[in-house]
Amino acid sequence: MAFTLPDLPYAHDALASLGMSKETLEYHHDLHHKAYVDNGNKLIAGTEWESKSLEEIVKGTYQAGAVAQNGIFNNASQHWNHNLFWEVMGPGEDKKMPGDLEKALVEAFGSVAKFKEDFAAAGAGQFGSGWAWLVKDADGALKITKTENGVNPLCFNQTALLGCDVWEHSYYIDFRNKRPAYLTNFLDKLVNWEAVAAKL
């Protein structure tokens, strides 16, 4: 199935007052994400993956234990990752966390504050490029994970509830090399908690 670049669910300047500039979204969505879509389409053309769903491609091309993943996986997974990333952010100054999500986070991590602390630490501690995740395991337990490059929770049969891109192109324009500040801002100002709760 051909990859398609989705429109952002908000205007390019909608998150500027919250710490993610129009310039960042123009580079990150319009150029970086588009490159994963275009390259992915070229790589799957004429292969067994051409008619598969995006999720099937990610799961089917992931190579556990590989030092480096293959090109089809890298582009497909990054397309999937970014689709989720745009969905879990949103405009608006006062984003309330739904009660069911808050309860689940308190049960899993002790408090919402501790969840945010641990999530930010996972993202800051990911060496090089990658992602920080809030996932639901097959047994229903919530966990914080981090992955290198484009690897994502689909590879481990987990459900991704929240993902934060910690590749430098996601934050360098707005935060330079201050990844921890970017992560704190993401959690405090950018996350659309209703979108996260809907994935529970």
Whats the size of the chain, residue-wise? 200
How many percent of the chain have pLDDT more than 90?
Answer: 98
Amino acid sitting at position 183: L
98 within 8 A of 194, measured Cβ to Cβ: yes
Res 64 pLDDT > 90:
yes
* Helix/strand/coil for 167: coil
- Which of 56, 33, 40 has its CA nearest to residue 2? 40
* Helix/strand/coil for 33: helix
| Residues placed in the known binding site | 28, 82, 165, 169
Res 196 pLDDT > 90:
yes
Tokens 């324009």 -> residue: 173
What are the pLDDT digits (tens) for 105-132? 999 999 999 999 999 999 999 999 999 9
Q: What is the pLDDT of residue 81?
A: 99
Amino acid sitting at position 100: D
Tally of CB atoms within 10 A around 13: 14
72 within 8 A of 61, measured Cβ to Cβ: yes
What does the alpha-carbon distance between residue 151 and residue 28 come to, in Å, rounded to a whole number?
A: 18
Residue 177 token pair: 């090399």
Residue 93 token pair: 């100054």
Q: What is the pLDDT of residue 192?
A: 98
Q: What is the pLDDT of residue 94?
A: 84
Q: What is the pLDDT of residue 16?
A: 98
What are the pLDDT digits (tens) for 74-111? 999 999 999 999 999 999 988 999 999 999 999 999 99
What does the alpha-carbon distance between residue 119 and residue 109 come to, in Å, rounded to a whole number?
A: 10
| Residues placed in the known binding site for Mn(2+) | 28, 82, 165, 169
Rounded to an integer, what is the distance from CA 12 to the centroid of its chain?
Answer: 18
| Range 15-31 average pLDDT | 98
Instruction: Read off the pTM.
Output: 0.98
Least confident residue range of 2-6, 22-26, 27-31, 91-95: 91-95
Q: What is the pLDDT of residue 193?
A: 98
Q: Which residues on adjacent β-strands are paired with residue 89? A: 191
What are the pLDDT digits (tens) for 136-191? 999 999 999 999 999 999 999 999 999 999 999 999 999 999 999 999 999 999 99
Under the phi-then-psi rule, with left for phi > 0, alpha for psi from -120 to 50, and beta for the rest, what region is 165? beta
Res 35 pLDDT > 90:
yes
Rounded to an integer, what is the distance from CA 108 to the centroid of its chain?
Answer: 21
